[in-house]
Amino acid sequence: MTMEVLLTGASGHVGQAILGDLSDEYQWRLFDIEHPGEEAPGEVIVGDITDREVVAEAVAGVDAVIHLAGDPRRDAGWESVLQNNIHGTYVVFDAAVNAGVERIAFASSNHAVGAFETDERIPDIYRPEDTNRLDGSELPRPGNLYGVSKATGELLGRYYHDEHGVAVVCVRIGNLTEGHPPRDYERGQAMWLSYRDCAHLFDRCLQADYEYLIVFGISDNDRRFYSLEPARTYLGYEPRDNSAEFD
């Protein structure tokens, strides 16, 4: 049987990247604050991610959840990240566990560790090997309140895995852009994630065996300070794109 997947925040860039390559691979239930359009590849539920009743309806009967919804602004204020990102993530995790969902892929962010990224704390991004890079084992070090909310989501995932046994993978998404990486932004090139690598990564989140896991969502960039090894080892992620190819 085809896996049925709830995708929250389906209209955003990450959601569109996922659906662009995987629309026919799963039975989708799409959740967003606004309707994603008549060509949406699946059942659509319009609602607020903090509404426990509508979220309970959305998770009923699905096999897995990809949770993307929230305020995506890196300069978002406290009231918004508290309500939309922290409370909303709690509502989704809690409803999913109550509905017997077996796995959740949570869209975390590079901003959960953004304060590591200074000249003093980050080694040379041009090193070819993956050693001594941030790999998900480090403690969160958010550089803004948006990052605080994503770090909190990772901790909620840890709690719900430990207490209820749901498999949780937190993907610290880098700089997702369609087509090519930013040409004049070195940090953006180091953490670039192409649309097709994004779709492949979340496909592996739905297919691989894991318990609780934090991985970085970037392409196979020569210049990087995030490690790809956990995603490769535990998810079978094989990114195909490299920001250096666009130099």
CATH number of the CATH domain containing 28? 3.40.50.720
What's the distance, CA 199 to chain centroid? 11
The number of distinct structural domains making up the chain is 1
Q: Per the residue annotation, which of 26, 146, 226, 237 is the catalytic one?
A: 146
Rounded to whole angstroms, the Cα distance separating 1 from 231 reads 26
Rounded to whole angstroms, the Cα distance separating 106 from 169 reads 6
Residues 6+ apart with CB under 8 A from 32: 8, 9, 10, 11, 15, 44, 46, 69
Q: Say what the pLDDT of residue 37 is.
A: 76
Q: Catalytic: 146?
A: yes
pTM of the model: 0.94
Radius of gyration of the chain (CA): 17
Domain that holds residue 147: 4-246
Q: Say what the pLDDT of residue 128 is.
A: 52
Q: Say what the pLDDT of residue 243 is.
A: 92
Q: What is the pLDDT of residues 129-188, one digit of tens each?
A: 555 678 899 999 999 999 999 999 999 999 999 999 999 999 999 999 998 888 777 888
Q: Say what the pLDDT of residue 142 is.
A: 95
Rounded to whole angstroms, the Cα distance separating 143 from 34 reads 30
Instruction: Indicate left, alpha or beta for 132 from its phi (over 0: left) and psi (-120 to 50: alpha).
Output: left
Contact yes or no for 120/90 (Cβ under 8 A): no
Rounded to whole angstroms, the Cα distance separating 139 from 16 reads 30
- Positions in the chain whose pLDDT score sits under 50: 126
Phi, psi angles (nearest 5°) of residue 39:
-90, 10
